[in-house]
Structure 1
Amino acid sequence: MIRVLVVDDHAVIRDGIAAILEPHEDIAVVGAAADGAAAVRLAAALRPDVVLMDLRMPGVDGASATERITALSPPPRVLVLTTYDSDADITRAMAAGAIGYVLKDIPRAGLLDAIRRAHAGEAVLAPSVATKLVRQQHTVRPASLSERERAVLTLVATGATNRDIAAALAVSEATVKTYLTRVFAKLEVGDRTAAVTAALARQLIECPSTG
Protein backbone atom coordinates (compact mmCIF):
# COMPACT_ATOMS: atom_id res chain seq x y z
CA MET A 1 0.00 0.00 0.00
CA ILE A 2 1.39 3.39 -1.04
CA ARG A 3 0.40 6.02 1.53
CA VAL A 4 -0.04 9.43 -0.14
CA LEU A 5 -0.26 12.93 1.32
CA VAL A 6 -1.87 15.45 -1.06
CA VAL A 7 -0.71 19.07 -0.78
CA ASP A 8 -2.48 21.86 -2.71
CA ASP A 9 -3.98 25.19 -1.71
CA HIS A 10 -7.14 24.56 -3.77
CA ALA A 11 -9.69 22.28 -2.11
CA VAL A 12 -11.22 21.24 -5.43
CA ILE A 13 -7.84 19.95 -6.62
CA ARG A 14 -7.18 18.10 -3.35
CA ASP A 15 -10.61 16.47 -3.60
CA GLY A 16 -10.14 15.68 -7.27
CA ILE A 17 -6.79 13.99 -6.71
CA ALA A 18 -8.24 11.96 -3.83
CA ALA A 19 -11.12 10.86 -6.06
CA ILE A 20 -8.64 9.68 -8.69
CA LEU A 21 -6.44 7.77 -6.26
CA GLU A 22 -8.88 6.20 -3.81
CA PRO A 23 -10.39 3.52 -6.12
CA HIS A 24 -6.96 1.90 -6.50
CA GLU A 25 -6.19 -0.83 -3.98
CA ASP A 26 -2.45 -0.17 -3.88
CA ILE A 27 -2.79 3.56 -3.07
CA ALA A 28 -4.33 5.23 -0.02
CA VAL A 29 -4.71 8.98 0.58
CA VAL A 30 -3.77 9.38 4.26
CA GLY A 31 -4.04 13.16 4.50
CA ALA A 32 -4.35 16.51 2.73
CA ALA A 33 -2.76 19.89 3.37
CA ALA A 34 -3.55 23.37 2.04
CA ASP A 35 -0.08 24.88 2.50
CA GLY A 36 3.55 23.97 3.01
CA ALA A 37 3.58 24.40 6.78
CA ALA A 38 0.66 22.00 7.20
CA ALA A 39 2.32 19.60 4.77
CA VAL A 40 5.46 19.44 6.90
CA ARG A 41 3.44 18.82 10.07
CA LEU A 42 1.33 16.10 8.48
CA ALA A 43 4.31 14.43 6.83
CA ALA A 44 6.00 14.17 10.23
CA ALA A 45 2.84 12.87 11.89
CA LEU A 46 1.45 10.55 9.21
CA ARG A 47 4.68 9.27 7.65
CA PRO A 48 3.34 8.98 4.08
CA ASP A 49 5.33 7.13 1.43
CA VAL A 50 4.73 9.77 -1.25
CA VAL A 51 3.86 13.47 -0.93
CA LEU A 52 2.14 15.06 -3.94
CA MET A 53 3.39 18.62 -3.63
CA ASP A 54 2.02 21.79 -5.21
CA LEU A 55 4.62 24.57 -5.51
CA ARG A 56 2.98 27.98 -5.31
CA MET A 57 1.07 28.21 -2.05
CA PRO A 58 0.62 30.94 0.57
CA GLY A 59 3.06 30.99 3.48
CA VAL A 60 5.54 28.14 3.21
CA ASP A 61 5.78 27.27 -0.49
CA GLY A 62 6.19 23.83 -2.00
CA ALA A 63 9.96 23.94 -2.50
CA SER A 64 10.58 25.01 1.10
CA ALA A 65 8.20 22.32 2.37
CA THR A 66 9.92 19.74 0.17
CA GLU A 67 13.29 20.56 1.69
CA ARG A 68 11.91 20.09 5.21
CA ILE A 69 10.01 16.91 4.37
CA THR A 70 12.95 15.22 2.66
CA ALA A 71 14.99 15.91 5.81
CA LEU A 72 12.69 13.60 7.82
CA SER A 73 13.95 10.14 8.73
CA PRO A 74 13.00 8.10 6.83
CA PRO A 75 12.19 10.68 4.15
CA PRO A 76 8.98 10.40 2.10
CA ARG A 77 9.31 10.67 -1.67
CA VAL A 78 8.15 14.11 -2.79
CA LEU A 79 6.55 14.27 -6.22
CA VAL A 80 5.84 17.81 -7.41
CA LEU A 81 2.46 18.23 -9.09
CA THR A 82 2.10 21.77 -10.38
CA THR A 83 0.88 24.00 -13.20
CA TYR A 84 4.25 25.73 -13.50
CA ASP A 85 7.36 24.53 -15.30
CA SER A 86 9.60 27.60 -15.26
CA ASP A 87 13.34 27.03 -14.97
CA ALA A 88 13.36 28.64 -11.53
CA ASP A 89 10.53 26.45 -10.21
CA ILE A 90 12.11 23.28 -11.54
CA THR A 91 15.55 24.12 -10.19
CA ARG A 92 14.27 24.97 -6.71
CA ALA A 93 12.10 21.87 -6.44
CA MET A 94 14.76 19.42 -7.59
CA ALA A 95 17.42 21.07 -5.44
CA ALA A 96 15.08 20.74 -2.45
CA GLY A 97 15.03 16.97 -2.93
CA ALA A 98 11.93 16.23 -5.02
CA ILE A 99 12.16 12.86 -6.74
CA GLY A 100 9.96 13.97 -9.60
CA TYR A 101 8.20 16.88 -11.26
CA VAL A 102 4.97 16.46 -13.22
CA LEU A 103 2.32 18.90 -14.42
CA LYS A 104 -1.37 19.05 -13.60
CA ASP A 105 -2.38 18.30 -17.17
CA ILE A 106 -1.01 14.77 -16.70
CA PRO A 107 -3.55 12.04 -17.57
CA ARG A 108 -4.99 9.98 -14.72
CA ALA A 109 -3.05 6.90 -15.75
CA GLY A 110 0.13 8.97 -15.93
CA LEU A 111 -0.39 10.31 -12.41
CA LEU A 112 -0.91 6.82 -11.02
CA ASP A 113 2.21 5.61 -12.81
CA ALA A 114 4.22 8.58 -11.54
CA ILE A 115 3.20 7.90 -7.94
CA ARG A 116 4.12 4.22 -8.21
CA ARG A 117 7.45 5.02 -9.83
CA ALA A 118 8.26 7.69 -7.25
CA HIS A 119 7.43 5.23 -4.47
CA ALA A 120 9.84 2.77 -6.09
CA GLY A 121 12.57 5.40 -5.98
CA GLU A 122 12.58 6.30 -9.67
CA ALA A 123 13.05 9.85 -10.91
CA VAL A 124 9.86 11.00 -12.67
CA LEU A 125 9.91 14.02 -14.98
CA ALA A 126 7.31 15.53 -17.29
CA PRO A 127 8.68 15.73 -20.86
CA SER A 128 8.82 19.54 -20.82
CA VAL A 129 10.64 19.47 -17.49
CA ALA A 130 13.17 16.94 -18.73
CA THR A 131 13.81 19.11 -21.79
CA LYS A 132 14.44 22.18 -19.65
CA LEU A 133 16.77 20.25 -17.35
CA VAL A 134 18.75 19.08 -20.39
CA ARG A 135 19.05 22.67 -21.57
CA GLN A 136 20.18 23.79 -18.12
CA GLN A 137 22.75 21.02 -17.88
CA HIS A 138 24.27 21.98 -21.23
CA THR A 139 25.54 25.11 -19.53
CA VAL A 140 27.15 23.08 -16.75
CA ARG A 141 30.65 21.64 -16.94
CA PRO A 142 30.20 18.22 -18.55
CA ALA A 143 30.88 15.15 -16.46
CA SER A 144 32.20 11.81 -17.64
CA LEU A 145 31.10 8.58 -15.96
CA SER A 146 32.83 5.25 -16.38
CA GLU A 147 30.88 2.27 -17.74
CA ARG A 148 30.63 0.77 -14.26
CA GLU A 149 29.55 4.10 -12.72
CA ARG A 150 26.81 4.36 -15.34
CA ALA A 151 25.72 0.80 -14.58
CA VAL A 152 25.49 1.57 -10.86
CA LEU A 153 23.56 4.78 -11.44
CA THR A 154 21.17 3.10 -13.88
CA LEU A 155 20.35 0.54 -11.20
CA VAL A 156 19.88 3.35 -8.67
CA ALA A 157 17.35 4.90 -11.07
CA THR A 158 15.27 1.69 -10.89
CA GLY A 159 15.08 1.98 -7.11
CA ALA A 160 17.72 -0.68 -6.38
CA THR A 161 19.41 -0.62 -2.98
CA ASN A 162 23.18 -0.86 -2.51
CA ARG A 163 22.71 -4.54 -1.67
CA ASP A 164 20.70 -5.10 -4.86
CA ILE A 165 23.35 -3.34 -6.93
CA ALA A 166 26.17 -5.30 -5.33
CA ALA A 167 24.39 -8.57 -6.15
CA ALA A 168 23.61 -7.52 -9.71
CA LEU A 169 27.18 -6.43 -10.46
CA ALA A 170 28.91 -9.11 -8.36
CA VAL A 171 30.78 -6.61 -6.20
CA SER A 172 30.71 -5.72 -2.51
CA GLU A 173 28.40 -3.11 -1.01
CA ALA A 174 31.52 -1.14 -0.05
CA THR A 175 32.49 -1.03 -3.72
CA VAL A 176 29.03 0.21 -4.65
CA LYS A 177 29.37 3.00 -2.08
CA THR A 178 32.74 3.93 -3.58
CA TYR A 179 31.24 4.17 -7.05
CA LEU A 180 28.39 6.33 -5.76
CA THR A 181 30.81 8.63 -3.97
CA ARG A 182 32.68 9.13 -7.23
CA VAL A 183 29.45 9.74 -9.12
CA PHE A 184 28.28 12.33 -6.58
CA ALA A 185 31.61 14.14 -6.88
CA LYS A 186 31.60 14.12 -10.69
CA LEU A 187 28.01 15.33 -10.94
CA GLU A 188 28.44 17.77 -8.04
CA VAL A 189 25.39 16.44 -6.18
CA GLY A 190 24.80 15.22 -2.66
CA ASP A 191 22.37 12.32 -2.94
CA ARG A 192 21.08 9.48 -5.11
CA THR A 193 17.98 11.26 -6.42
CA ALA A 194 19.96 14.32 -7.48
CA ALA A 195 22.56 12.09 -9.14
CA VAL A 196 19.92 10.26 -11.19
CA THR A 197 18.20 13.52 -12.14
CA ALA A 198 21.48 15.12 -13.24
CA ALA A 199 22.61 12.04 -15.17
CA LEU A 200 19.29 11.75 -17.01
CA ALA A 201 19.33 15.45 -17.84
CA ARG A 202 22.86 15.22 -19.22
CA GLN A 203 22.00 11.99 -21.05
CA LEU A 204 24.73 10.09 -19.21
CA ILE A 205 22.26 7.28 -18.53
CA GLU A 206 18.98 6.30 -20.16
CA CYS A 207 15.66 6.36 -18.35
CA PRO A 208 15.07 2.77 -17.20
CA SER A 209 12.17 0.91 -18.77
CA THR A 210 9.09 0.62 -16.61
CA GLY A 211 8.06 -2.53 -18.43
Structure 2
Amino acid sequence: LALIIDGTAGFWCKLSFENGKEALKPLQENYVDVVLMDIEMPEMNGIECVRRLKPLKPEVDFLMLSIRQDDEAVFQSICAGASGYLLKDTPPAELLVAIQEVKAGGAPMSAGIARKVIQSFHKLKASPLSERETEILRLLSQGMNYKSVAKALFLSPHTVKTHIKNIYGKLHVNSRAEAVRKGIEDKLI
Protein backbone atom coordinates (compact mmCIF):
# COMPACT_ATOMS: atom_id res chain seq x y z
CA LEU A 1 0.00 0.00 0.00
CA ALA A 2 2.82 2.39 0.87
CA LEU A 3 4.40 1.62 -2.53
CA ILE A 4 1.19 2.48 -4.36
CA ILE A 5 0.81 5.73 -2.45
CA ASP A 6 4.46 6.73 -2.86
CA GLY A 7 4.35 5.81 -6.54
CA THR A 8 1.50 8.21 -7.26
CA ALA A 9 2.15 11.87 -8.06
CA GLY A 10 0.86 14.16 -5.30
CA PHE A 11 0.85 11.42 -2.65
CA TRP A 12 3.45 10.55 -0.05
CA CYS A 13 3.40 7.83 2.60
CA LYS A 14 5.15 9.48 5.53
CA LEU A 15 4.78 6.78 8.20
CA SER A 16 3.87 3.09 8.35
CA PHE A 17 3.22 0.88 11.38
CA GLU A 18 2.46 -2.74 12.16
CA ASN A 19 0.18 -2.02 15.13
CA GLY A 20 -1.81 0.77 16.70
CA LYS A 21 0.31 0.98 19.82
CA GLU A 22 3.52 1.79 17.96
CA ALA A 23 1.65 4.41 15.88
CA LEU A 24 0.46 6.52 18.82
CA LYS A 25 3.57 8.56 19.60
CA PRO A 26 4.85 9.17 16.04
CA LEU A 27 1.38 10.20 14.84
CA GLN A 28 1.17 12.71 17.70
CA GLU A 29 4.60 14.13 16.86
CA ASN A 30 4.37 14.31 13.05
CA TYR A 31 2.13 16.29 10.75
CA VAL A 32 0.01 14.12 8.48
CA ASP A 33 -3.14 14.89 6.48
CA VAL A 34 -4.72 11.45 6.34
CA VAL A 35 -4.15 8.22 8.25
CA LEU A 36 -5.20 4.91 6.69
CA MET A 37 -6.07 2.70 9.65
CA ASP A 38 -6.72 -1.02 9.74
CA ILE A 39 -8.98 -2.29 12.53
CA GLU A 40 -7.46 -5.70 13.17
CA MET A 41 -3.95 -5.05 14.45
CA PRO A 42 -1.90 -6.60 17.27
CA GLU A 43 -1.47 -4.88 20.63
CA MET A 44 -4.03 -2.12 19.94
CA ASN A 45 -6.77 -2.23 17.35
CA GLY A 46 -7.34 0.61 14.91
CA ILE A 47 -10.57 1.78 16.51
CA GLU A 48 -8.88 2.30 19.87
CA CYS A 49 -5.95 4.02 18.15
CA VAL A 50 -8.31 6.47 16.40
CA ARG A 51 -10.23 6.99 19.66
CA ARG A 52 -6.99 8.05 21.37
CA LEU A 53 -5.52 10.11 18.53
CA LYS A 54 -8.55 12.04 17.22
CA PRO A 55 -8.88 14.31 20.30
CA LEU A 56 -5.13 15.04 20.11
CA LYS A 57 -5.07 15.52 16.33
CA PRO A 58 -8.54 16.80 15.33
CA GLU A 59 -7.21 18.15 12.02
CA VAL A 60 -6.19 14.67 10.85
CA ASP A 61 -8.64 12.57 8.85
CA PHE A 62 -8.70 8.88 9.75
CA LEU A 63 -9.80 6.61 6.95
CA MET A 64 -10.53 3.06 8.08
CA LEU A 65 -9.39 0.32 5.70
CA SER A 66 -10.65 -3.06 6.85
CA ILE A 67 -12.02 -6.45 5.87
CA ARG A 68 -14.68 -6.07 8.57
CA GLN A 69 -18.16 -5.15 7.37
CA ASP A 70 -20.11 -5.75 10.56
CA ASP A 71 -22.21 -2.94 12.03
CA GLU A 72 -20.21 -2.89 15.25
CA ALA A 73 -16.88 -2.25 13.50
CA VAL A 74 -18.33 0.39 11.20
CA PHE A 75 -20.18 2.35 13.86
CA GLN A 76 -17.46 2.07 16.49
CA SER A 77 -15.00 3.42 13.92
CA ILE A 78 -17.21 6.37 13.08
CA CYS A 79 -17.91 7.09 16.75
CA ALA A 80 -14.17 6.92 17.48
CA GLY A 81 -13.56 9.68 14.94
CA ALA A 82 -13.04 8.03 11.56
CA SER A 83 -13.93 10.23 8.59
CA GLY A 84 -14.48 7.34 6.20
CA TYR A 85 -14.55 3.55 5.92
CA LEU A 86 -13.29 1.48 3.01
CA LEU A 87 -13.04 -2.25 2.54
CA LYS A 88 -9.62 -3.74 1.86
CA ASP A 89 -10.75 -4.97 -1.55
CA THR A 90 -11.09 -1.35 -2.70
CA PRO A 91 -9.10 -0.98 -5.94
CA PRO A 92 -5.97 1.19 -5.59
CA ALA A 93 -7.32 3.90 -7.91
CA GLU A 94 -10.48 4.21 -5.78
CA LEU A 95 -8.39 4.31 -2.61
CA LEU A 96 -6.39 7.25 -3.97
CA VAL A 97 -9.63 9.04 -4.91
CA ALA A 98 -10.96 8.37 -1.38
CA ILE A 99 -7.82 9.90 0.15
CA GLN A 100 -8.34 13.03 -1.96
CA GLU A 101 -12.03 13.05 -1.07
CA VAL A 102 -11.42 12.86 2.68
CA LYS A 103 -8.77 15.62 2.41
CA ALA A 104 -11.39 17.77 0.65
CA GLY A 105 -13.84 17.30 3.53
CA GLY A 106 -15.73 14.27 2.26
CA ALA A 107 -16.56 11.02 4.01
CA PRO A 108 -15.68 8.22 1.59
CA MET A 109 -17.22 4.82 2.19
CA SER A 110 -17.38 1.58 0.27
CA ALA A 111 -20.84 1.14 -1.25
CA GLY A 112 -21.89 -1.63 1.16
CA ILE A 113 -20.71 0.36 4.16
CA ALA A 114 -22.55 3.49 3.00
CA ARG A 115 -25.71 1.38 2.67
CA LYS A 116 -25.32 0.14 6.27
CA VAL A 117 -24.99 3.71 7.52
CA ILE A 118 -28.08 4.84 5.59
CA GLN A 119 -30.09 1.84 6.80
CA SER A 120 -29.16 2.58 10.40
CA PHE A 121 -30.81 5.98 10.05
CA HIS A 122 -33.93 4.37 8.63
CA LYS A 123 -34.07 2.15 11.72
CA LEU A 124 -33.84 5.09 14.11
CA LYS A 125 -37.15 6.05 15.57
CA ALA A 126 -38.10 8.92 17.78
CA SER A 127 -38.11 8.16 21.47
CA PRO A 128 -41.58 7.42 22.79
CA LEU A 129 -40.57 9.10 26.05
CA SER A 130 -40.78 12.78 26.88
CA GLU A 131 -37.64 14.63 27.95
CA ARG A 132 -38.68 14.41 31.60
CA GLU A 133 -39.48 10.69 31.34
CA THR A 134 -36.09 10.06 29.74
CA GLU A 135 -34.41 12.00 32.55
CA ILE A 136 -36.27 9.97 35.18
CA LEU A 137 -35.42 6.67 33.46
CA ARG A 138 -31.75 7.69 33.30
CA LEU A 139 -31.73 8.40 37.05
CA LEU A 140 -33.46 5.08 37.74
CA SER A 141 -30.77 3.34 35.68
CA GLN A 142 -28.17 4.91 37.98
CA GLY A 143 -29.76 3.15 40.94
CA MET A 144 -31.82 6.00 42.37
CA ASN A 145 -35.15 5.25 44.01
CA TYR A 146 -38.37 7.22 43.40
CA LYS A 147 -37.84 9.53 46.36
CA SER A 148 -34.25 10.30 45.36
CA VAL A 149 -35.38 11.03 41.81
CA ALA A 150 -38.10 13.34 43.10
CA LYS A 151 -35.62 15.18 45.30
CA ALA A 152 -33.01 15.46 42.52
CA LEU A 153 -35.53 16.87 40.04
CA PHE A 154 -37.44 19.02 42.55
CA LEU A 155 -40.65 17.09 41.92
CA SER A 156 -43.15 15.53 44.25
CA PRO A 157 -42.92 11.75 44.69
CA HIS A 158 -46.46 11.53 43.28
CA THR A 159 -45.37 13.28 40.07
CA VAL A 160 -42.41 10.93 39.71
CA LYS A 161 -44.69 7.90 40.20
CA THR A 162 -47.00 9.25 37.48
CA HIS A 163 -44.07 9.67 35.10
CA ILE A 164 -42.85 6.15 35.90
CA LYS A 165 -46.32 4.75 35.25
CA ASN A 166 -46.27 6.52 31.87
CA ILE A 167 -42.78 5.15 31.14
CA TYR A 168 -43.95 1.60 31.88
CA GLY A 169 -46.93 2.05 29.56
CA LYS A 170 -44.92 3.55 26.70
CA LEU A 171 -42.21 0.90 26.94
CA HIS A 172 -44.69 -1.95 27.53
CA VAL A 173 -42.94 -3.12 30.70
CA ASN A 174 -44.04 -3.87 34.25
CA SER A 175 -41.01 -3.17 36.40
CA ARG A 176 -38.17 -0.75 36.95
CA ALA A 177 -35.59 -3.35 35.87
CA GLU A 178 -37.49 -4.04 32.63
CA ALA A 179 -37.82 -0.31 31.95
CA VAL A 180 -34.10 0.28 32.45
CA ARG A 181 -33.20 -2.76 30.31
CA LYS A 182 -35.53 -1.64 27.52
CA GLY A 183 -34.26 1.94 27.77
CA ILE A 184 -30.68 0.74 27.32
CA GLU A 185 -31.52 -1.75 24.55
CA ASP A 186 -33.51 0.84 22.60
CA LYS A 187 -30.82 3.48 23.24
CA LEU A 188 -33.28 5.77 24.99
CA ILE A 189 -30.83 6.43 27.82
Q: TM-score range by the shorter chain?
A: 0.5 to 0.7
Q: Contact 1:102 / 1:126 at 8 angstroms: preserved in 2? A: yes
Q: Contact 2:28 / 2:57 at 8 angstroms: preserved in 1? A: no
1:31 equivalenced with 2:15 (yes/no): yes
Residue in 2 that maps onto 1:58:
42
How far apart, CA to CA, are the structure 2 residues paired with 1:84 and 1:43?
24
Unpaired segments ≥5 residues, structure 1: 1-16, 143-211
1:78 equivalenced with 2:62 (yes/no): yes
Residue 108 of structure 1, CA deviation:
1.1
Unpaired segments ≥5 residues, structure 2: 127-189
| SS class of match (1:28) | coil
Residue in 2 that maps onto 1:49:
33
| SS class of match (2:12) | strand
Residue in 2 that maps onto 1:89:
73
Q: Contact 1:117 / 1:123 at 8 angstroms: preserved in 2? A: yes
Deviations 1:2-46 (Å, cap 9, x if unpaired)? xxxxxxxxxxxxxxx011111222111111111111222121122
| % identical aligned pairs | 31
1:140 equivalenced with 2:124 (yes/no): yes
Residue 141 of structure 1, CA deviation:
2.9
1:103 equivalenced with 2:80 (yes/no): no
Residue 74 of structure 1, CA deviation:
4.6
User: Cα 1:132–1:50, aligned 2, differ >3 Å: closer, same or farther?
Assistant: same
How far apart, CA to CA, are the structure 2 residues paired with 1:96 and 1:107?
25
State the 4+ residue runs in structure 1 displaced beyond 4 angstroms: none
| SS class of match (1:29) | coil
Count of aligned pairs: 126
Residue 52 of structure 1, CA deviation:
0.2
Question: What one-letter code is carried by the residue in structure 1 that aligns with 2:60?
Answer: P
Residue 73 of structure 1, CA deviation:
3.9
How far apart, CA to CA, are the structure 1 residues paired with 2:10 and 2:17?
21
| SS class of match (1:52) | strand
Give the greater-gyration-radius structure (CA): 2
Larger relative contact order (CA 8 Å, sep ≥ 6):
1
Deviations 1:135-187 (Å, cap 9, x if unpaired)? 21112136xxxxxxxxxxxxxxxxxxxxxxxxxxxxxxxxxxxxxxxxxxxxx
